[in-house]
Chain A
């Protein structure tokens, strides 16, 4: 019985538009959660896949000890992962009388698992027949042919093995991106390693386990392996320190922050709409109860309405969110044709959970209250004023906190953020109360629009305070998002400005500088400054030999380069993107000083005044730590851990690094350069720049999408709020019209009331946005704070415009109803 009544009422309520605001608010909340988390995951997965290509695998386990076969068996058999092996070591290569230290990489046949290894049967990377890595062969980095004086097909000796030169390495997916170059690189087959007899106890060899497969299996495998890792094994971090990793982390935090607040806004709209629905149906419920319905029957009838709305919104939200994810994945595919879109259940359950929280804590309370309406209410005049009860404030607040916890995943952070928001809300209400009380409607006399508007605001102060909070929040979000979006994109673009160097040249000797300068002048290339590089080893700190540190470093597998040879440079001026944290940069004529990068200083427990001894080309050089620097590793420029004062290194034979920008259409120039300077290595960072630009494009699309969601949610809150006051306004208008108030007076008073409310909301939003920009810029994005002057006119203007327009749009029909008709409507309830 109740089902047929419920169903009939549901359809009528739908056609009367009563339930749509709740439905749309929930849809918006679910749709935005699903799409935001899905898009973030999509972009993240695209970046991980990119990063996997640069690592030749999805996951890389590094070890200083020989391969543990059990790990490969576990990965292959239990988790169906593909595997490959890699060994890396430095060794001398001999070809007749010539010899050269090289970095050798020995790989198994399945290498690489991600990305492409491109080898040519040629000495040049520009042309040749594609070759495959087979046992018995070695492939060289181009400059090694010249250094050893060999050609394809010649024989070289590596340890005790004789190997044939197979050709040149054109693309090595996991080649180090360091612009320092180091020794020339060689690739050989893993099966040939035993014959070389290079691997001896104590040999310094890096072992890498490469794994690839689906995300879930990889995660499970990693979790299982983590318990079994020895001190010699560790997972390789994927690009965290790169420009890409940093950009992604910022983007993800930003998306979640903006998304969360948008969802809270949508949930507020749902709460207001549900309260209004409940208030408008109080009398109907009283009538049905008077006619004999029990509370349980009412709960079934109206509970089923809420359930249907929730299910409908949830379904639509999930589908819309999934479509948005699909669109973004399609977009990523345009940039990355080999992108493997993965279906993730996480956005779907996150969306469902959000819907349940919003429905239970925001919308269920008014419905519950509705079902408890006493039958006696049938004899009472229905309340025209919209009110939120105390418990609903409490459940709403609990819901906001629950959502914060759900999205941040951090209890303490969510409590802190919630208390901050509650504090702001209280402050907002208090300030609004003070302002409205201070502004007096003026002396009694002829009615005027401002007087009426202020009187209205004062009378509805407490009802308005909720409106004010949500309006302010909505405008604040729109402003915050607009400004942060511009700033974020601007900052990224500044990081990689148009024309930033994209080709780095390393291993340039003193004579080659002249040749290079002439070549650059001829081709109109703008060369960056030359950074001198001398390789040296840190031997002791304050006369304490570094044996101990070196051992410790080995055990914890810290950054390669400390305890071994470091790239040392000397500069008289502090490089760009470097900031002194402690001490001072070299003064004019400073001698025997060194400036140390912050992280390495921390790792080696260095402080100002410590004395470091380096061994350079067999000579001992000592320097005192005079400053500790912070280095922006995201910047695409040569960065150094140790910069020595010029007096120390100027006499040592150095190689140089420089860089220049080459437009993609002029790539052929690189071949000319390779022929001209065969021992100089050219490292192109074009792909890194392209990758960062891709991310910027994708994140820009995501940000615009969030801005749209926020604007929709904000408009929805406004609509729900104004609708909630419709009955009361209708009554007031009826009385005023009956008493003879002119249309123009009522219209102006109404416009002014909304404009004042909008101005207050806009003003609060501006202050909040500026404060939040300050916080977010400094704490989250680590950017220096700059005031936003345009915010101060945009905020109030947006507030006045948005609130007035939406208010007017909804109430204009009410104003156009003739007085007599309006009175009849009010009297009929």
Chain B
């Protein structure tokens, strides 16, 4: 068996924010390693620091202390624009509140990251993804004309269009009803498996977390527990 390739590596990550009276530390000494193609869940209650950790791992923000490497790049040493270039090339996102641009159609929302990355066949890829998420007929609909579940399917298609090496999903089904949420989760894991993407999932939902190979449980900005699932258990 080959040694798994390390894709994301965080070493003693910490994040503090300045308040009017002193500062508040949101993350304390977080270290983790995620291998290429692995699915990892970060689980915790609201305010546990899981979204902050996601923002650091994805290069949306920089740590106050510690190191974070993604696809061989030291994100903590890069500027905002250099991190944007890394995101454009390697990263896809699915957000809790979908975050589609209201003035673009479903198709245009999907093509946007590909256009930013300079992908030539963006439209063709987008049409294929729209078909994969079952929304071919809704290509020219604006987000306001789509249901919550449909919007999240468009968001998933958008996340995969650049064929990212890593996909970060922040509570992807939290804003949806249980049945729709289930469908969205299935879609996400199916596309992830098909494309062999590394998946980092932030959720407070244990059931969803269990579908990942590893789960890190957080509380008050620290890991309190790490569980590794048997591959057979992962759905």
A binds B: yes
Cβ contact of B85, chosen from A288, A294, A374, A376, cutoff 8 A: A294
Asked if A293 is at the interface (CB within 8 A of a chain B CB), the reply is: yes
- Would you give the shortest CB distance from B125 to chain A, in whole angstroms? 15
**Of all chain A residues, which has the CB nearest B158?**
A291
Number of residue pairs spanning A and B whose beta carbons lie under 8 angstroms apart: 88
> Taking the complex as formed, is A127 at the interface, i.e. its CB lies under 8 A from any CB of chain B?
no
B99:A295 contact, CB within 8 angstroms = no
A289 to B59, CA, bound (A): 11
Return chain B residues, CB-CB under 8 Å to A292.
Answer: 84-85, 87-89, 91, 113, 116-117, 162
- Which of A12, A283, A287, A294 is close to B84, meaning CB atoms less than 8 Å apart? A294
**B112 near A379 (CB under 8 angstroms)?**
no
Contact call A291/B88, Cβ cutoff below 8 A: yes
Interface: A417 (CB within 8 A): no
In the complex, residue of chain A having the shortest beta-carbon distance to the beta carbon of B108: A8
Report whether B84 and A374 are in contact in the complex, using a CB–CB cutoff of 8 Å: no
Chain A residues contacting B148 (CB-CB under 8 Å) are 828
> CB within 8 Å of A: which of B95-144?
95, 97, 99, 101-104, 108, 112-113, 115-118
B81 is an interface residue with CB less than 8 A from chain A: yes
Chain A positions within 8 Å of B112 at CB level: 5, 288, 291
- Choose from A4, A16, A375, A828 the contact partner of B80 (Cβ within 8 Å): A375
Q: Does A13 contact B (CB under 8 A)?
A: yes
Contact residues in B for A297 (Cβ distance below 8 Å): 116
Question: Which residues on the A side are within 8 Å of B103 (C-beta)?
Answer: 9, 12-13, 16, 284
A636 to chain B, nearest CB (A): 65
Nearest A-chain residue to B97, judged by Cβ: A829
What residue in chain B is nearest A827 (Cβ atoms)? B175
- Bound-state Cα–Cα, A367 to B99, Å: 21
| Contact of A291 with B113 in the complex, beta carbons under 8 Å | yes
Which residues of A are found within 8 Å of B11, using beta-carbon distances?
Answer: none
- Output the least CB separation between B218 and chain A (Å): 15
Q: Which of B158-173 contact A (CB under 8 A)?
A: 158, 162, 170
A residues near B116, Cβ cutoff 8 Å: 1, 5, 288, 291-293, 297
Residue of B nearest to A1 (CB): B115
| Given contact pairs A1-B115, A293-B84, A375-B80, A288 touches B60 in the complex (Cβ within 8 A) | no
Q: Which residues of A contact B216 (CB under 8 A)?
A: none
Interface pair A1/B118, CB less than 8 Å apart = yes
Residues of A within 8 A of B158 (CB): 291
Q: Which residues of A contact B223 (CB under 8 A)?
A: none
- On whether the beta carbons of B81 and A284 are closer than 8 Å, the reply is no
CA distance A283 to B95 in the complex (A): 12
From the candidates A12, A290, A296, name the one contacting B60 in the complex (CB within 8 A).
Answer: A290
Residues from chain B with a CB closer than 8 A to the CB of A256 are none
CA distance A376 to B97 in the complex (A): 15
1/0 per position for B36-76, CB-CB distance to A under 8 A? Answer: 00000000000000010011001011000000000000000
Q: Are A287 and B85 in touch, CB under 8 angstroms? A: no
Q: Which residues of B contact A8 (CB under 8 A)?
A: 104, 108
Residues of B within 8 A of A827 (CB): 175
CA distance A650 to B101 in the complex (A): 95
Interchain CB contact under 8 A, A290 and B101? no
Q: In chain A between 266 and 288, which residues have their CB closer than 8 angstroms to a CB of chain B?
A: 283-284, 287-288
Chain B residue contacts of A4, Cβ below 8 A: 115
Chain A min CB distance to B172 (Å): 13
Task: Specify the chain A residue showing the minimal Cβ separation from B101.
Answer: A284
CB distance from A568 to the nearest CB of B (A): 82
Inter-chain CA distance A291–B88, complex, in Å, is 6
A295: which B residues are within 8 A, CB to CB?
80-81, 84
A455 interface residue (CB < 8 Å to B): no
Q: When the two chains form their complex, are residues B87 and A296 in contact, meaning their CB atoms are under 8 A apart?
A: no
Q: Roughly how many angstroms separate A374 CA and B79 CA in the complex, as a whole number?
A: 11
Output the nearest chain A residue to B122 by Cβ-Cβ distance: A1
Closest to A13 in B: B103
Residue on A nearest B99 in the bound complex, by CB: A287
In the complex, chain B residues whose CB is within 8 Å of the CB of A289: 80, 84
Whole-angstrom distance between the Cβ of B68 and the nearest chain A Cβ: 14
Given contacts A291-B87, A291-B88, A292-B84, contact A378 B95 (CB under 8 A): yes
Of B95, B97, B170, most buried by chain A (CB within 10 Å of CB) is B97
Cβ B101 vs Cβ A287 within 8 A: yes
Would you give the shortest CB distance from A131 to chain B, in whole angstroms? 78
Is B81 touching A294 in the complex (CB atoms < 8 A)? yes
B119 to chain A: closest residue by CB = A1
Q: Find out whether the CB atom of B60 lies under 8 angstroms from the CB atom of A378.
A: yes
Q: Which of B55, B85, B108, B162 contacts A379 (CB under 8 A)?
A: B55
Question: A2: shortest Cβ distance to chain B, in Å?
Answer: 8
Distance between Cα atoms of A13 and B103 in the complex (Å): 7
- Hey, what's the 0/1 contact readout for A109-134 against B, CB within 8 Å counting as 1? 00000000000000000000000000
> By the criterion CB–CB under 8 Å, are A5 and B115 in contact?
yes
CA–CA, A297 to B87, complex, Å? 14
* Residues A376 and B61 in contact, CB atoms below 8 Å apart: yes
Q: List 10 A-B contacts (CB under 8 A).
A: A1-B118, A284-B102, A284-B103, A289-B80, A291-B116, A292-B89, A376-B60, A376-B61, A379-B51, A828-B97
Given contacts A287-B99, A294-B81, 20 further A-B contacts (CB under 8 A): A4-B115, A16-B102, A284-B102, A284-B103, A287-B95, A288-B116, A289-B80, A290-B93, A291-B112, A292-B84, A292-B91, A295-B80, A295-B81, A374-B61, A375-B60, A375-B61, A378-B93, A378-B95, A379-B55, A379-B170
A residues adjacent to B (C-beta < 8 A): 1, 4-5, 8-9, 12-13, 16, 283-284, 287-297, 374-376, 378-379, 827-829
Q: Which residues of B contact A (CB under 8 A)?
A: 51, 54-55, 58, 60-61, 80-81, 83-85, 87-89, 91, 93, 95, 97, 99, 101-104, 108, 112-113, 115-118, 148, 158, 162, 170, 175
